Amino acid sequence: MPYYFIICRSLTYAQRTAAALERAGISAQIFRSPKSLAGEGCSYVVKIAQKHLTKGLQVLHQAGLDPKRVFVFNSDGRYQEVAF
């Protein structure tokens, strides 16, 4: 099932992001960024289900936590950046 990775610059930022999503009833898990997505090296991602992306982005915008980059994990096993 496709899911989304919200890229976060630090663990604390990821924790704030996940906490805001969880408060809105959206299940969110924190992981280390896959190396291919890590950009400047060592970052964290917040994983959410595909069905929650639109609401999740609204929640994060309201919390002042707009993500800089979001990737979708496709069924072919590759990451693709999402334009939003």
Partner 1 sequence: MIYLDSAATTLQKPPKVARACAYAVGNLASPGRGGHRAAMGAGQVVFQCRQQAASLFSMENPEQVVFTLNATHGLNIAIKSLVKPGDRVLISGYEHNAVTRVLYAIPNLTVKIASSPLFDQKRMLEAVERNLTEGVDAVVCTHVSNVFGYVLPIEDIAKACQRHQVPLIVDASQSAGCIPIDAGALSAAFVAMPGHKGLYGPQGTGLLLCGQEAVPLLQGGTGSNSKDQTMPDFLPDRLEAGTLNVTGIAGLLEGLRFVAQKGVSTIRNHEEALVRRMGRAFEGMPKVKAFWNGGQPGTQAGVLSFQVEGWDCEELAQKLGAMGFALRAGLHCAPLAHQTVGTLEEGTVRASVSAFNTPQEINRFVDSVRRVVARG
Binding residues for partner 1, rule: CB under 8 A, are 9-13, 15-16, 19, 30-32, 40-43
- Give the nearer residue to partner 1 in terms of CB position, either 34 or 54: 34
Least separation in angstroms between CB 54 and partner 1: 25
CB distance 9 to 51 below 8 Å: no
User: Which of 16/55 has CB closer to partner 1?
Assistant: 16
Question: Phi and psi dihedrals of 19, rounded to 5?
Answer: -65, -40
Q: 9 or 76: whose CB is closer to partner 1?
A: 9
For 69, the token pair is 């980059």
